[in-house]
Amino acid sequence: MFLDSISKNFIGELPDSNYVFLAKPPVELGKVLMGHSTIKSGKKIPSSNEQIIHTILWGLLGVAIAVAIIYFGGVYKIGWRIFWVLLLGLGIAAVRASMFNYVNYYLGEQGLAKITMKSEDEVKKESILLFKDAAYMVKGLTDRYKNFVYQGTDFSYEWFDLGGEKLYTISGTYQSKEGTPKYTASYEYYWGLEAEKLWTERIYQQALSEIKTMGYYEFGSKYGFKYRLGFGFIEKIDSKDRSIKINEADIKESYAKKGILYIKTYTGSSWFHKGDAIEIEFNDIHNSRVFLSLYYQMIKVGISTDK
């Protein structure tokens, strides 16, 4: 069951002993640091044949409901009869089939994995990300509102290679207007969060090494801009290779508000920014958590959050 090899879940607690890990962690992940399972101990996982039988029975139940609607509802047109039979028969069967998903999540020193089991000894799907194959990650966090009423929060953690091809995505939605969700409500959010932390430490050490040899570390962004951070300066380069370098002495203050970093300078407007503040959206920058960590390290002005 591999339970003894998983010491923590994605919020640093012991995994719930009511859940077990059936899928062995891929060896490529190295040492497994955390894990989560949706497979309850003591619960029999149906075999493939049993799953087919269950799905068919649920589909027949849907057909029976459709027949009742047709009979008692006085549905006479053949088109509508076919519609109700297909809708409920296939729909309920599909719902039942989707319930046969038993998932193990892993986070290791070298990457992460999600393994969906079809049965106790049969893997349905396996997806793996090895950090060595990725060049950068982008995090997204968006609150959704309708008529000023909070509807939910969408999150995403996406890793890309050097060519910009997407390698892996962790995404979902949760309901928590006040902040982060409960673990039981969105464990994939915490899976992505812990993966981001591990990834950040990896890239942060790489960035410090490059700064020592090159004098700066370069960050890409969603819209093609590049940002360079070095000891005592930040530089921005646009798609036309125009650049502007701002030294620490030119920065009046910097602060973060609603996912945006504002850098106020003593100078006026330029192509780089309008008014007295430069605005950098965290969600637009590749490896944004590394960017923030390096900014604190390289620019001694710091970042305030009390605006």
Nearest in space to 102 (alpha carbons), one of 47, 172, 46, 37: 37
Q: What proportion of the chain, given as a percentage, has pLDDT over 90?
A: 36
Instruction: Report how far residue 307's alpha carbon sits from residue 296's, in angstroms, rounded to the nearest whole number.
Output: 18
pLDDT digits 0-9 by tens, 176-231: 877 788 887 788 999 999 999 999 999 999 999 999 999 999 999 988 889 999 99
Model pLDDT for residues 135-171, shown as the tens digit of each residue: 999 998 888 998 989 999 999 999 999 999 999 999 9
pLDDT for the residue numbered 197: 94
d(CA 265, CA 182): 40
Considering only residues 274 and 149, tell me which one the structure prediction assigns the higher pLDDT.
Answer: 149
Q: Among 234, 280, 282, 293, which Cα is nearest to 138's?
A: 282
Residue at 249: amino acid letter: A
The set of residues, in sequence order, having a beta carbon less than 8 Å from that of 162 and lying 6+ positions away, is 135
Q: How far apart are CA 63 and CA 98, in angstroms?
A: 18
pLDDT band per the 50, 70, 90 thresholds, residue 18: low
Domains 3-42+101-200 and 215-298 share a fold: yes
Segment of 69-83, 99-113, 204-218, 247-261 carrying the highest mean pLDDT? 204-218
Average pLDDT, the chain: 85
Are 19 and 9 a contacting pair, CB within 8 Å?
Answer: no
Cα distances (Å, whole numbers) of residue 55 to 87, 97, 118, 124, 254: 15, 6, 14, 17, 58
Q: Considering the entire predicted model, what is its pTM?
A: 0.78
Q: Could you tell me the CA-to-CA distances from 14 to 7, 9, 37, 60, 206 in Å, in that order? A: 6, 6, 12, 42, 31
**CA-derived radius of gyration, the chain:** 25
* 281: its two tokens: 């959206």
Q: Residue ranges of the domains in the chain?
A: 3-42+101-200, 48-98, 215-298
Instruction: Assess contact for 244 and 270: CB atoms under 8 A.
Output: yes
pLDDT top residue among 16 and 33: 33
pLDDT > 90? residue 128: yes
Residue with the larger pLDDT of the pair 20 and 204:
204
Instruction: Quote the pLDDT of residue 3.
Output: 46
Strands in the chain per DSSP E = 19-20, 32-37, 39-40, 102-108, 111-119, 122-130, 136-146, 149-160, 166-174, 217-219, 226-230, 233-237, 243-247, 251-257, 260-265, 277-281
Count other Cβ atoms within 10 Å, centred on residue 303.
15
Task: Identify the residue whose tokens are 């915490």.
Answer: 190
pLDDT at 15: 67
From the list 157, 155, 78, the residue with the least C-alpha distance to 112 is 157
Q: Whose CA is closest to 101, among 78, 79, 81, 123? A: 123
Give the tens place of pLDDT for each residue, 29-78. 999 888 888 877 666 677 778 778 888 888 899 899 989 998 888 888 88
Given a cut of 90, whether residue 239 has pLDDT beyond it is no
Instruction: Give the architecture-level CATH label for domain 215-298.
Output: Roll (2.30)
For residue 193, the model assigns a pLDDT of 93
Confidence of residue 2 (pLDDT cuts 50, 70, 90): very low
**Would the pLDDT of 271 be above 60?**
no
Query: What integer pLDDT is reported at residue 201 of this predicted model?
Result: 94
Q: Which amino acid is at 138?
A: V
The CA distance from 195 to 161, in Å, is: 16
Write down the CATH number for the domain with range 3-42+101-200. 2.30.29
Residue 1 to residue 98: CA distance in whole angstroms? 23
Contacts of 134 (CB under 8 A, 6+ apart): 159, 160, 161, 167, 168, 199
